[in-house]
Amino acid sequence: MELVTFIFGEYAPRIADISRYILPFVAVLIVARCIVSMLRERYDPETWAYLYLNGNVMVPLRHWECILGRARSVDGRVDDPAVERMHACLIRTPEGTWTVYNLGKGRTYVNGEQVLPGGAPIQDADVLTLGTVSARFVDLTEQERSSLLKYRHAPGRRVRPSVTLLLLTIFQIGLLLQHLAYDAGAGLGVIMAFAVLATVQWGYFIVLRASGQRGFEPEILALFLSTVGLSVAASKTPDDMLKQIILLLAAIGLYIFMCLWIRNLDRVKSVRLYAFIAAIGMLLVTLVLAPVDNGARSWLHFGSLSIQPSELVKVLYIYAGAATLDRLFVNRNLIFYIGFSAGCVGLLSLMGDFGTALVFFVTFLVISFMRSGSFATVFLAVAGAVLGVLLVVTVKPHVVARFETWGHVWEDVDWRGYQQSRALSAAASGGLFGHGAGNGWFIGIIAAETDLVFAVLCEELGLITALCCIASLLALAGFVVKNAAAGRSSYFCIAAAGAVSMMLVQLCLNVFGAMDILPFTGVTFPFVSMGGTSLLACWMLLAFVKGSDTRANASFAVVRPERFTGGAGVEDESEPEEDYYSPGGGYYDGSPEGGYYDDPKDGYYRGGGRA
């Protein structure tokens, strides 16, 4: 308070109070701008090759893994009775070679030779026959791909990321002022932590923007959540902020490493088996060596350092569980993944960490459905899980106690309902705008900074800011759903869906558990709850979200299309041309042939071509 008084004089308390009412609206602007940029701006897909049907119908291939068939949901639709619903698939390697695989009972041919179960290579100008329908495969040349790049719109033109980042900096300054004004323990460590975070985020933005990157929404949302988490840490342990900021910088560093690592899909696939082994190994070591704490074996202690291996296993689970399209049609791969998932959930259950086991199980359901497309597999897994839960409830007394407390926290406020009853009181007392960062009493309750952190947010920062934190994670989930339609490989789509599923399940269990809407499970709020291992895992999971973003010049986790062929790929900073939409209502695809849609949803093109 003395520092704020020294800077602002007698107006210091008034400035801190005013910031309480301004910051929630700044938070709304930050999240809203990211949502508009991610979900509302036009998303031009990539195009890698074409199939020419009957010499004049051009079907674009917009992924590295494209299913061909009669179904409306396939990537390359061939609407002919002789073609099966899912007839064949075309798979592209990062080096640019294509392979075709037959999927159904029908036959597939390349230049008249039948495609065997192991697949067959296909090159530019080869004739691909599906049943009785023939099509000429056209792989884009360097010049054609460079031409297409000029018509793809990069993000950040209507919603400038620099402005959003400036709003985030204002939000950080406001939180810092509140801590200095309301929290007697806040001092130089808190100032340095916020200053270092602001410096790093602007340095990250400047470096990537100088390299041509324009998509920063996932990082800004993660930085916004991490800023709120830093505020929670400043309220709980203001004298230990050096450790917290080092952990946050390490998390951002691991995020950058993961983004660079997954750029090479072949490299990702080459170490998947090691990820399987490491995940199971870490859980086994925890089960054997970790001491029992509150009925669970979750933490390994190395002197003053504590690690929760299950948080890091989340990253390994997603990394190993996602699969490319060529593996999805081999049943033994799905069976192996189910066994791996059962092993992870089983070991977590033996450790007594049922909250994390539930997070893994729901993520398993999401990934298994995306891998198999079978509701039967999901229903079978749910049935097995219900039986497992019934068994666990009968043998684990602390789990039984949590279910008994659920919905009855006010009946025993001095024992079983102690934490949640006070969490509800603190959340209600904060109102819409909160009492100010560092000005709450609930932070002194056990697990307030981790499992019950939502109550801290509501009390100190207000319901508006707390809801913005929830909206940030929901926005990332919506972003992944939108990216799935344009992803290069099923691996990135499945990995991103699995990552956000984990975050959303954690979010629901943390918020609803603290508010007594669901049984209290003791899981963290992604990016916000204190805990170094959790923070590291959340930022690493964010890399999978970034890897699914194929917007033009949006993600450094994705190699730009021109890098594959050496094309110029000059970014077109101009606004879209007026004739981007054809006079007849068709959608021009920007190709050298001049093809365009009659209907953007039907997947067919008409126009000229080099077939």
Reported as a single tens digit per residue, the pLDDT across 218-228 is: 999 999 999 99
pLDDT of residue 133: 87
The distance of Cα 297 from the centroid of its chain, to the nearest Å, equals: 28
Stretch 43-56: mean pLDDT: 81
Quick check: 43 pLDDT over 50? yes
Q: Which is it for strands 76-77 and 65-69: parallel, antiparallel or unpaired?
A: parallel
- Say if residue 274's pLDDT is above 80: yes
pLDDT digits (tens, 9 = 90+) for 168-180: 999 999 999 898 8
Per-residue model confidence as pLDDT tens digits over 453-509: 999 999 999 999 999 999 999 999 999 999 888 888 888 999 999 999 999 999 999
3-state secondary structure 147-193: HHHCCCCCCCCCCCHHHHHHHHHHHHHHHHHHHHHHCCCCCHHHHHH
Q: Which of 59-63, 523-527, 548-552, 602-606 has the weakest average pLDDT?
A: 602-606
> Is the pLDDT at 130 greater than 60, yes or no?
yes
| Cα dist from 71 to 75, 331, 371, 488, whole Å | 9, 22, 18, 20
CB burial of 198-234 (b: ≥16 within 10 Å; e: otherwise) equals bebbeebbeebeeeebbbbbbbbbbbbbbbbbbbbbb
Q: What is the pLDDT of residue 390?
A: 46
Please report which confidence band the pLDDT of residue 389 belongs to, taking 50, 70 and 90 as the band edges. low
Phi and psi (nearest 5°) for 406? -55, 120
Please state which of the ranges 193-207, 409-423, 552-566 shows the lowest mean pLDDT: 552-566
Strand partners, 300: 307
pLDDT for the residue 592: 39
The proportion of the chain whose per-residue pLDDT surpasses 90, expressed as a percent, equals 37
Residue 114 bridge partners (DSSP):
109
Structural domain spans, the chain: 49-151+581-606, 155-547
Cβ burial, residue 394 (10 Å; 0-12/13-18/19+): exposed
557: three-class secondary structure by DSSP: coil
**Mean pLDDT score across all residues of the chain:** 81
Q: What is the C-alpha separation between 327 and 212, in angstroms, rounded? A: 34
The residues, any chain, with a CB within 8 Å of residue 185's CB and separated by 6 or more, are 238, 239, 438
Q: Is the confidence at residue 250, as pLDDT, over 90?
A: yes
**Mean pLDDT, rounded, for 539-547:** 95
Give the CATH class of 49-151+581-606: mainly beta
pLDDT higher at 343 or 608: 343
pLDDT-derived band of residue 374, with 50, 70 and 90 as boundaries?
A: low
DSSP state of 606: E
Q: How confident is the model at residue 579 (pLDDT cuts 50, 70, 90)?
A: very low
Of the candidates 244, 261, 369, 374, the residue with the CA atom closest to the CA atom of residue 316: 261
Of 469 and 339, more confident: 469
**Per-residue confidence (pLDDT) for residue 378, from 0 to 100:** 58
pLDDT for residue 568 is more than 60: no
Over pLDDT 70: what percentage of the chain? 82
pLDDT at 314 over 70: yes
Helix or strand run (H / E) with residue 67: strand 65-69
pLDDT at 391 over 50: no
Quote the pLDDT of residue 24: 96
CB-hemisphere CA count at 13 Å for 317?
Answer: 36
Question: In the 8-state DSSP scheme, what is residue 271?
Answer: T
pLDDT given at position 465 = 97
Gap between the Cα atoms of 315 and 267, Å rounded = 16
Neighbours of 424 (CB within 10 A): 18
pLDDT (0 to 100) of residue 332: 64
